[in-house]
Amino acid sequence: MKMQNFNGFTLAEVLITLGIIGVVAAMTIPTLLTNIRNKELKPN
């Protein structure tokens, strides 16, 4: 049997990657928003 060259990603690989990115974003975005609000409200 001859091996074929693999080009591109499967749908499962793309979905897993997007899922990981979504989880990381869901954890970091609220923290960033609260930090920005706290810095805007803090007087100099």
What are the pLDDT digits (tens) for 3-18? 677 788 899 999 999 9
Q: Sorting pLDDT into bands at 50, 70 and 90, what band is 26?
A: very high
Residue with the bigger pLDDT between 42 and 32: it is 32
Is 44's pLDDT higher than 70? no
- DSSP per-residue codes, the chain: -PPPPP-S--HHHHHHHHHHHHHHHHHHHHHHHHHHHHHHHS--
Checking if the pLDDT of 41 tops 80, the result is no
CA distance 19 to 24: 9
User: Model-level pTM?
Assistant: 0.63
Angle at 8 between CA 10 and CA 4, to 5 degrees: 95
